[in-house]
Amino acid sequence: MANRHTIILMQTSQSRATRTFMDYDSISQAINGVCGLYERKLKDLNPAVRNITYDIADLYNFIDGLADMSALVYDHSIQAYLPYDRQWIKQRTFHHLTKLAN
């Protein structure tokens, strides 16, 4: 699954104007990007706090709190993007963070 171009599609509120995307060279980079979004939000909400910690449940709540989030991952064998839902993103996030912790 490494080195597969990944596009994260998201909508932060019910307004269609909040639809956006981020693209990455790999699934791992995309998951880092999702974590980075949450970390930037935490910094914006807590500007005076120097070290902010969170657990996986907090990150899941952030992902679930978005109006929509999905991923498109390029599959070289069919030369097309495969869609994945927010549950898949959460599972990949868990595996990614577990790998980083070890």
Distances (CA, A) of 93 to 16, 36, 53: 26, 12, 16
Q: What is the CATH number of the domain that holds 29?
A: 3.30.2260.10
Is 102 inside a domain boundary?
no
Note down the domain range covering 31.
6-97
pLDDT at residue 2 in the model: 63
pLDDT tens track for 82-93: 999 999 999 999
7-34 mean pLDDT: 96
Say how many domains are in the chain.
1
pLDDT tens track for 22-46: 999 999 999 999 999 999 999 999 9
Cβ–Cβ contacts within 10 Å for residue 2, how many? 8
* Tokens encoding 99: 């790998």
Residue 88, sorted as left (phi over 0), alpha (psi -120 to 50) or beta, turns out to be alpha
Is 64 inside a domain boundary?
yes
